[in-house]
Amino acid sequence: MSEKASIIIRTYNEERFIGDVLEGIKSQDLDDIAIEIIIVDSESSDRTREIAESYGCRIVNISKSEFTFGRSLNIGCSAANGNYLVILSGHCVPADNKWLVNLVKPIQNNQCVYSYGRQIGNDHNKFSERQLFKKFYPEYSQIPQQGYFCNNANSALKYDVWEVNHFNEELTGLEDMELSKRLDNRGYDLGYVAEAPVYHIHDETWRSVRNRYEREAIALQGIMPEVHVNFKDFLRYFTSGVLLDISAALEQRVLRKKFTEIIMFRFMQFWGSYRGNKEVRKLSHAQKEKYFFPK
């Protein structure tokens, strides 16, 4: 009897890329793994649901007013029938046809209970974000890994483990790291799988970039309260990030084309991180719309 993976995709107005995501899943070489696809949709007003239905996805709903990253995942996981919960962003396209098999293999082999795969950028991504992908998602795997970094844009979790360790529903982001820290503290192993890559497409406005890093900094205070970012840190991180990216852009001979973009991305990244860290506060329903639905 084959094992089953439930692929859970959170969506909100993802019509631009969701077809590519689902086509990438459709093209997987699954070996002996059966799959189901569950879309957790947050009141999309575009063709997201129509496209998902055309691929035979099962759709469950969460209202904007009730949305948090953790709550939407718990809803999707509750609807799942698989042994493995595969979590994929609505704008993360599998980069090859062994993505799924490689992502769940360490869990099947009892090497870890929570795995996450490599993320790479393409022409839709900002230059600086592609440098961040290289830093956090290297070309080599670590199974099990040291530390509890994890990212739910491309991850897999053993169902039995999630069943007694749900995602935190109050955080404004980083629900993956909060859970991975809990699991790490309880003696579970985590793993990074470089052989399970996706193209993580972030085609964002500058405000969206700032808001993303701000809400993650707010969430980080609940996970690592010892981390503080002051204005001097902002200046130091911003300067360092810009210089590193300029060096990479010079090497790739794209500095003239990417210079302004580099400055803007690093400013929004670290200004958002500084603001979020400094101004941690409980979000009202009105503020949730700003942070979670910046489009």
- At residue 191, the pLDDT reads 97
Q: Are 262 and 249 in contact (CB under 8 A)?
A: yes
Cα 224–chain centre separation: 19
How many Cβ atoms sit within 10 Å of the Cβ of residue 71?
19
pLDDT in tens, the chain (295 residues): 469 999 999 999 999 999 999 999 999 999 889 999 999 999 999 999 999 999 999 999 999 999 999 999 999 999 999 999 999 999 999 999 999 999 999 999 999 999 999 999 998 899 999 999 999 999 999 999 999 999 999 999 999 999 999 999 998 899 999 999 999 999 999 999 999 999 999 988 999 999 999 999 988 888 888 888 889 999 999 999 999 999 999 999 999 999 999 999 999 999 999 999 886 544 444 444 454 444 4
How many Cβ atoms sit within 10 Å of the Cβ of residue 97?
14
Q: Are 238 and 272 in contact (CB under 8 A)?
A: no
Q: What does the alpha-carbon distance between residue 191 and residue 107 come to, in Å, rounded to a whole number?
A: 9
Q: Are 98 and 29 in contact (CB under 8 A)?
A: yes
Cα 27–chain centre separation: 22
Give buried/exposed letters for 127-140 (b at 16+ CB in 10 A, else e).
bbbbbbbeeebeee
- At residue 280, the pLDDT reads 55
How many helices (H) and strands (E) would you count in the chain? 11, 8
- At residue 281, the pLDDT reads 45
